[in-house]
Structure 1
Amino acid sequence: MAVRKRFDALQTLRFILFLVVFGEHSGFYRLIGVPIFFEISIMSVFLMMSGFLMFYTYSERELSLNPVDNAKFSIGKIKKLYPLHVETALIQLAFVIFFFFDYFKTNPEGFGYFSFRVGVNLALLQAWVPNLEEYTFFLNGPSWFLSVMLFAYFLFPYIVKLLKKLKTIRNGVIAAVLLFTISFIVTILVGSKTGYLDSEFFIWFTMNSPIMRTTDFILGCIIGFIYVERRKTADIDAKPYSKGLWTFYEIMSFLLLQVFSVFIVAGVYLVAGDIGIALAYCTVGLPCLIGLPILLVCIYGRGYMSKLFSWKPLVYLGDISMYTYLIHYIYTQLWAYLQDYVFGIDKSDPRNIYMVPVEFVLTIGTAILYDKFRKKRAAAAKAKVVRPIEGQVEGA
């Protein structure tokens, strides 16, 4: 069974996770009074899912360990998304210039620094700078994720080589526990030196830096290793199972991700305050543990919810979810600028909720059009390569 067909439910899960991120960036959760404690878990699931699919797809292939080849491999993996990254960044740049033109007239010395930040963003290096407002979330904020993935893909051949040396599922579990432990210790060391959640550096390092967020990706690779090794030793697809029971697991895993995580984090806060949240929530520990169940049930795809997730329209939305992820910020930020500088509407104004479905429809529509345009452009480029060869054959 092809990788794409086997894990259709995972593709739809990407779209479900995007909806959570959209709910935060559009202000939907704030408007309905829901505390947003679980978005960091969403990004953990994204990264774990990427690590799992990468290991499952490439574990049997020969991968070069040459740094130059790894860089080419990494760039190749994000090549499809990079044009959209540039295009969305330039649109956001146009917004900034339009709404803040007076800044450039009154701060001519700042234009060079502004241009440097634009260059860092376009080069996908923004997640490496411990400055959330001026670099990590500058221009098209969600693109920090691509900055992390660029680093994760570069490391991937080395990760595969190390995991293959584990040989057994038991060693894979030990590796995951060791990863949790190292992440926890690093979080304590950095937090104790910087002030935990009172420090922008701590928030950046644990939540956005490529070094720490790649641990989620590595954990996904370990899950992929365990899954592949288990399939080698047992025909897990042939074992009988209850669809009803697996549907229950799916529902509970979804609730854990969307609802129970709020109470878990609130409980941690009541017991240990900000430091407790920092230690539990800013490592790979709690976010991954909250997100792991829904990832696993979608990998196995045995319940009715997974069957629903395999419905072609939903799978398609999952396929273009990275487009929607990069595009949605244009519309949410444009409305935020209009609120502040044109209409003078407070972000907590209940009327803003009417803009949420408008932003959503515009995002989905733009992503679908972009996908069609990209495919048409790719087909045209392929045709240009084929025609000269065909002509040479006919002429011969």
Structure 2
Amino acid sequence: MTATQEVTPGNLSSLTGLRAVGMLFVFVAHGAAASVFADKGVAAGYNTLIDNGVLGFLAVSFFFVLSGFVLTWSARPGARRFWRRRLLRVFPNHLVVLVVSALTFVAAGETIRLVPAVANVFLVQNWWPDADLMYYQLNGPTWTLSVELLCYAAFPLLYALVNRIKPGRLWFWLAGVGLLALAMPLLSEPFLAGYGPSKVFGVGSWPQQWFLYFFPITRSLEFVLGMILCRIIQTGRWVRVPVVVSALCVLAVYVVLYFLPQNFVFAALYPVPMALLIGSVATSDLAGRSRVMNSRLMVRLGDLSFAFYIVHIPVLFSVHAAFAGEWVGYANHYTRTQWNTPTGIAFLVGAYLLCVLAAWVLRTVVEIPAMRRWGGSRTRGTSGLSRPKAPGPQLQA
């Protein structure tokens, strides 16, 4: 695209397929925590692959950037309607899985701590640097929803502000937001580095890790960057970057993070490379060049990504405990049942497929009916994500 070309309506289904890859990375990262391999060499290799969560951190950043991009691409007038649909997309799935998780905790003889549980219900657990709120959750991955809720609440205002940026300055703003995210570890160092030991990742102070990884305002930078990226493409300012090149940039950052301090690993370096990847895939779709990510299988799996994310930790660790002959609450400790390498691989593959099945049930029984009943229009998969010329997109992200 040149600076004078406007985008034309087109299908962005490859972004949906890319979600399936992101969710696979999250599952693989959390699969390491299950510690299923008895062979110490294999276990060490697996842990090296994810490098204390790097693979999962990368995937989380991808989803935050993608969320800002997709919501901007599919924006329609009406803040109330937007907020209603966002809450309906999040809370039915969230509450159903939370109830099931709570029942699992009770059956396992675990104590449900009232304050963290209530914070988890309302998705406000990220707003205070209290490790109990983050660590003793009924469904740990829902911390990202606390970030998303802030982004949803602020989206109408953010959308108006991003739209005020002159097209010729969009790349400067994208670089500026990316540099601000990169600077967060340095900005936090004088104020938060010395406030006690870590309680989650084992490096640095907990308040600093909370600020860099969990704090909604800090993580909203990735969401805003995705919004700016969308405007760059919409206004025809995208400078074509092949998908292979942008993917190699992400891979390069992934490798570099093995050699950087932990505080840079959480989120600082991912946003800009992820934006390049999302932009490359989106423009490839618009040009009709995509072939792999927009296959029927990848799109179907991508449509399940949110439900998959909500259920994958309860399913993974509950099934692991069941194989161990135990009924263990997965919030506070993990079952350490281990197998030989082929059996361990088979377990992880089977657990992944079971998560896909559980996600399909949750989406079919809870998410889609809720959106159809109260969302204002029939819910479709994101495989039709497009931007009609007028009056606006027909599909809600």
Q: C-alpha distance in 2, partners of 1:304/1:315?
A: 16
Residue 14 (str. 1) matches residue 41 (str. 2): no
Aligned to 1:177: 175
Query: What's the TM-score, normalizing by structure 2?
Result: 0.75
Evaluate the alpha carbon distance shift between residue 349 and residue 304 of structure 1 in structure 2; reply closer, same or farther with a 3 A threshold. Answer: farther
Q: C-alpha distance in 2, partners of 1:308/1:24?
A: 23
Structure 2 SS opposite 1:125: coil
Q: C-alpha distance in 2, partners of 1:328/1:381?
A: 26
Q: How big is each residue's C-alpha offset from its partner over 1:237-277, in whole Å with a ceiling of 9 and x where there is no partner?
A: xxxx9xxxx8xx434544544x544421123x3xxxx3xx4
Evaluate the alpha carbon distance shift between residue 28 and residue 127 of structure 1 in structure 2; reply closer, same or farther with a 3 A threshold. Answer: closer
Give the aligned CA root-mean-square deviation in angstroms. Answer: 3.4
Q: Is the CA contact (8 Å cut-off) linking 1:51 and 1:218 kept in structure 2?
A: yes
1:75 Cα deviation after fit: 4.6
Aligned to 1:161: 160
Q: C-alpha distance in 2, partners of 1:262/1:29?
A: 22
Matched residue count: 340
Aligned to 2:108: 99
Higher Rg: 1
Structure 1: which amino acid aligns with 2:299?
V
Within the candidate set 245, 248, 265, 2:257 is matched to: 265
Residue 288 (str. 1) matches residue 271 (str. 2): yes
Q: C-alpha distance in 2, partners of 1:310/1:352?
A: 31
Residue 219 (str. 1) matches residue 230 (str. 2): no
Q: C-alpha distance in 2, partners of 1:2/1:77?
A: 26
Structure 2 SS opposite 1:198: coil
Aligned to 2:189: 191
1:364 Cα deviation after fit: 0.9
Q: C-alpha distance in 2, partners of 1:96/1:85?
A: 16
Structure 2: which amino acid aligns with 1:12?
G
Question: What's the % identity of the aligned pairs?
Answer: 19
Q: C-alpha distance in 1, partners of 2:311/2:346?
A: 19
Larger RCO (CA within 8 A; separation ≥ 6): 2
Aligned to 2:301: 317
Residue 250 (str. 1) matches residue 250 (str. 2): no
Structure 2 SS opposite 1:306: coil
Q: Is the CA contact (8 Å cut-off) linking 1:129 and 1:136 kept in structure 2?
A: no
Q: Select the structure that is richer in helix.
A: 1
Q: Is the CA contact (8 Å cut-off) linking 1:15 and 1:318 kept in structure 2?
A: yes
Q: Is the CA contact (8 Å cut-off) linking 2:14 and 2:294 kept in structure 1?
A: yes
1:128 Cα deviation after fit: 1.6
Structure 2: which amino acid aligns with 1:330?
P
Aligned to 1:42: 59
Residue 363 (str. 1) matches residue 355 (str. 2): yes
Within the candidate set 335, 338, 345, 1:353 is matched to: 345
Q: How big is each residue's C-alpha offset from its partner over 1:171-203, in whole Å with a ceiling of 9 and x where there is no partner?
A: 212222332343344432322222284111111
Q: C-alpha distance in 2, partners of 1:137/1:250?
A: 40
Structure 1 SS opposite 2:69: helix
Unpaired segments ≥5 residues, structure 2: 1-6, 36-42, 195-202, 328-333, 378-397
Q: Is the CA contact (8 Å cut-off) linking 2:125 and 2:134 kept in structure 1?
A: yes
Evaluate the alpha carbon distance shift between residue 38 and residue 360 of structure 1 in structure 2; reply closer, same or farther with a 3 A threshold. Answer: closer
Within the candidate set 272, 292, 312, 1:328 is matched to: 312
Query: What's the TM-score, normalizing by structure 1?
Result: 0.75
1:335 Cα deviation after fit: 3.6
1:79 Cα deviation after fit: 0.8
Aligned to 1:108: none
Q: Is the CA contact (8 Å cut-off) linking 2:20 and 2:305 kept in structure 1?
A: yes
Q: C-alpha distance in 1, partners of 2:229/2:279?
A: 9
Q: C-alpha distance in 2, partners of 1:77/1:370?
A: 17
Q: Which moved more, 1:360-369 or 1:123-132?
A: 123-132
Q: C-alpha distance in 1, partners of 2:187/2:368?
A: 51
1:380 Cα deviation after fit: 8.4
Q: C-alpha distance in 1, partners of 2:337/2:96?
A: 27
Residue 149 (str. 1) matches residue 152 (str. 2): no
Structure 1: which amino acid aligns with 2:60?
M
Structure 2 SS opposite 1:370: helix
